[in-house]
Structure 1
Amino acid sequence: MKKSTVKLQFNPELSINADGKHVRDGLSTILRTGDYLWVSCDERCSLERLKKIDENTFGEHHSFDLSQFLKLPAGTENEIDIEGIALEEHYLWLVGSHSLARRKPKKSQEPDEQIKRLAKLKTDQNRYLLARIPLNRNKETGEISLVKHVTHPYEPNFMLSAAQLAGNHAGTNQLLEALTNDIHVQDFLKIPGKDNGFDIEGLAIHGDRVFIGLRGPVLRGWAIILEVAVQDTDDSYFFELKPIGLKGELYIKHFLHLEGMGIRELDIAGDDLLILAGPSMDLDGTIALYRWPQALRQTGQSITHRNDLEQLFEVPNGTGPTSGQDKAEGITLFDKHHAIIVFDSPTDERKLNTDAVMADLFKIGVNSVKI
């Protein structure tokens, strides 16, 4: 199969976080808006913008500190763990993982200390974030940037403002509060994401419908997409969930049999949803792209069996000596016929010079083969 790639070139002055990790080593999501690619690293509080240089290269890296637009509970001291970004009209949307994390054992420590770390859970308040930020196009240069406030381009009396989902308690939000009594999800809210606990890793927006993909929990092979809708509040910095279910529920659930896999990313293609799926837990395993036909025509909660989903292709991932590497994490439509996928923990073969990395292009047409 012939391989086609896109080069992502980052600025070394903007690419290293406080722990010395390069942004290219933790890419978790991607979005294309015209000549720009937006990507995020799961261990930062920023969004990265790259501009098209030629047909196969994006560079001119610019980093946007999200604390300049949103009210991050922990400021920039803790990561947001951004796991999904999406576009709807004049807003860029983003979502954090909303998950607990279990401490990793460190081989340099004594065995007893390593075992103790496995019992410790941590909560990063910034992870509980669902937000939207206006996009503004410079009329002279055509440059697209994030802005905190901007006048609507077609309605001069209406202001677009950065805002996020409200919550009644610190370290949570209205979505998690609504799920605390959910018959399918409630028992997983206190389980770390890497243990098949509650873990958001996908976002797609269509009109006033917000689709949130869950990496976990996976229930007897069934993955979950939550669908919500939002409305403005009197406080321009926050929006809130509005009733969407038949009985006034603040969310509805869609169950999909992805053959035991959880959701890694979502994107919209016409009336369909593209679903990047992979293991819910921290292990190597099949990663594949699925098409959920006519997903946007669904009304109310739904359940879709495996034969009603189309597996487009499997995405190669690290195995053996490269175990834990080249984990496909983000997908976006590159053009009408192709999708671009970025990888967390890329292998050395995927890295170029000291600050670039290769993303892969896949054809998503009839044959759904990599080009």
Structure 2
Amino acid sequence: MPSPPYTLRFDPKLSINPNGDDVRDGLSAAVITGNNLWVCCDERTTIERLRRTGPRSFGKHCSYKLADLVDLPEKATEEVDLEGMGEAENYLWVMGSHSIKRKNAKPEDPNIAKQIGRLAKIQVAPNRCLLARIPLVQNAKTGDFELLKSAPHPTAPDQKLRAAQLRGDTKGTNELLQVLAKDKHIGPMLKVPAKDNGFDVEGLAASPDGRLFLGLRGPVLHGWAIVLEIRPEDHKKGQLRLGQVEGGEHKLYKKHFLDLRGMGIREIRQQGTDLLILAGPTMDLDGTIAVYRWRNALFQAHDSLTPADQLERLFDVPHLPHLDRAEGMALLSEQEMLVVFDKPAPKRKPRPHVTLANIFPLSSAPSATEG
């Protein structure tokens, strides 16, 4: 028997953006800290915090504007396309898709030539190239975790937590993209839109030792999905740069290739020394969505190639045609995973400003931590 879903309630005053879109209709990532569930919507420039309000519900919606916490490359009304969040060492890490986009055709428009022309238009969106960390500190009075631009370290009084982001510019690039432009696998795909199997970051996991693991929805190369391993470090106030990563062919990142049977990566979550991978179609089409366990992923000493028989397929995520696209995962415990959805089906929206998140059991235990 499947577990009953969790109810997520959003504040009507905060859930609708200026274009009339509801935050519940585009959830793209999820993280749990204490009694708080953090989610983001790929159509917004905000991060949403909910609080546990019952045994199977989250509510008391609070919204944080990214522009109040980091320096966005372009105006705050332009979408960031947030697709990844991770938490480690008193920081919430957030990441945009880093993708370029192609205009879509509108078949209802009788001007066929115009619509064919739209399919040739490529857009660069600088706000999508955001990789940042934001201090995440628990309020002693309320028990809620809060996002701040700077804050005293909760356990080290002589240290200060500061928001910072990877060096970038207003032209739609940053240090990561500049380095990857020379990569023989990824470089050619940086000029390909996300929906065409181009470069598209959709998962982020943060390790306590300072490493980040970035799951790519695309490109998928001859069936192999890609995880990038990087180590951002402080550069100067408010800025990060890529630190050296040991063991890779390239000094500033490692590449890990996973045989996910042709699927791309929609989300990544760390559990112990393992990474849990939410996999699905790389392009905008219906197909299998499944969760895998990649054991001891944090101990890959070099660039790696992991065949399908070394990945545990934990469960498939049911969905309807064109709806209920699983996009975000949050660990409720070592035994349960909460999954949130983009384009939720009507039955997933029983009331206004409410959506339902599914719970799945994790049928195998995480790998033991070394030492």
Quickly name the TM-score band, shorter chain normalised: over 0.9
Deviation per CA, 1:68-94: give whole Å up to 9, x if none.
Answer: 000001121210000010100100001
- Counterparts of 2:33 and 2:115 in 1: how far apart (Å)? 44
Report if aligned partners of 1:168, 1:174 keep a CA contact under 8 Å in 2: no
**Paired AA for residue 116 in structure 1:** G
Match of 2:76 in 1: 76
- Counterparts of 2:246 and 2:284 in 1: how far apart (Å)? 33
Match of 1:118 in 2: 119
Shift in Å, 1:170: 3.2
**Paired AA for residue 333 in structure 1:** L
Match of 1:244 in 2: 245
Match of 1:256 in 2: 258
Shift in Å, 1:167: 2.8
Match of 2:148 in 1: 147
The TM-score, its normalising length taken from structure 1, stands at 0.95
Shift in Å, 1:262: 0.3
Stretch moving more, 282-291 or 130-139: 130-139
Shift in Å, 1:365: 2.3
- Counterparts of 2:96 and 2:346 in 1: how far apart (Å)? 28
Report if aligned partners of 1:131, 1:164 keep a CA contact under 8 Å in 2: yes
Shift in Å, 1:317: 1.3
- Counterparts of 2:118 and 2:104 in 1: how far apart (Å)? 6
Deviation per CA, 1:152-202: give whole Å up to 9, x if none.
Answer: 112212111111001367321110000011010011000000100000000
Deviation per CA, 1:1-60: give whole Å up to 9, x if none.
Answer: 434200000011101112111000000111011100000000000000000000111000
**Paired AA for residue 287 in structure 2:** G
Where in structure 1 are there 5+ consecutive unaligned residues?
Answer: none
Match of 1:179 in 2: 180
Where in structure 2 are there 5+ consecutive unaligned residues?
Answer: 367-371
- Counterparts of 1:35 and 1:138 in 2: how far apart (Å)? 12
Match of 2:92 in 1: 92
What is the DSSP-based 3-state SS (H/G/I as helix, E as strand, rest coil) of the residue aligned with 2:115? helix
Deviation per CA, 1:265-304: give whole Å up to 9, x if none.
Answer: 0001111100000000010000000000111121121110
Shift in Å, 1:143: 2.1
Q: Give matches, 1:159-174, under 5 Å.
A: 159-167=160-168, 170-174=171-175
- Counterparts of 2:329 and 2:173 in 1: how far apart (Å)? 27
Shift in Å, 1:353: 0.8
Cα distance change of structure 1 residues 317 and 367 upon mapping to structure 2, 3 Å threshold: farther
Match of 2:107 in 1: 107
Which of 295, 299, 302 pairs up with 1:300? 302
- Counterparts of 1:105 and 1:168 in 2: how far apart (Å)? 30
**Paired AA for residue 365 in structure 1:** S
Cα distance change of structure 1 residues 54 and 108 upon mapping to structure 2, 3 Å threshold: same
Shift in Å, 1:241: 0.2
Match of 1:158 in 2: 159
Provide the alpha-carbon RMSD of the alignment: 1.4
Q: Give matches, 1:304-319, under 5 Å.
A: 304-318=306-320
**Paired AA for residue 82 in structure 2:** I
Structure 1 runs (4+) deviating above 3 angstroms are 245-248
- Counterparts of 1:221 and 1:239 in 2: how far apart (Å)? 33
Report if aligned partners of 2:325, 2:344 keep a CA contact under 8 Å in 1: yes
Does residue 347 of the first structure (1) align with residue 345 of the second (2)?
Answer: yes
Which of 266, 270, 282 pairs up with 1:268? 270
**Paired AA for residue 354 in structure 1:** P
Shift in Å, 1:245: 4.0
Report if aligned partners of 2:329, 2:340 keep a CA contact under 8 Å in 1: yes
**Paired AA for residue 152 in structure 2:** T
Report if aligned partners of 2:134, 2:148 keep a CA contact under 8 Å in 1: yes
Match of 2:135 in 1: 134
Identity %: 47
Shift in Å, 1:100: 0.7
Match of 1:18 in 2: 18
**Paired AA for residue 66 in structure 1:** L
- Counterparts of 1:248 and 1:114 in 2: how far apart (Å)? 42
Report if aligned partners of 1:92, 1:134 keep a CA contact under 8 Å in 2: yes
- Counterparts of 2:342 and 2:244 in 1: how far apart (Å)? 36
What is the DSSP-based 3-state SS (H/G/I as helix, E as strand, rest coil) of the residue aligned with 1:171? coil
**Paired AA for residue 275 in structure 2:** L
Shift in Å, 1:217: 0.2
Stretch moving more, 274-283 or 142-151: 142-151
What is the DSSP-based 3-state SS (H/G/I as helix, E as strand, rest coil) of the residue aligned with 1:14? helix
**Paired AA for residue 317 in structure 1:** H
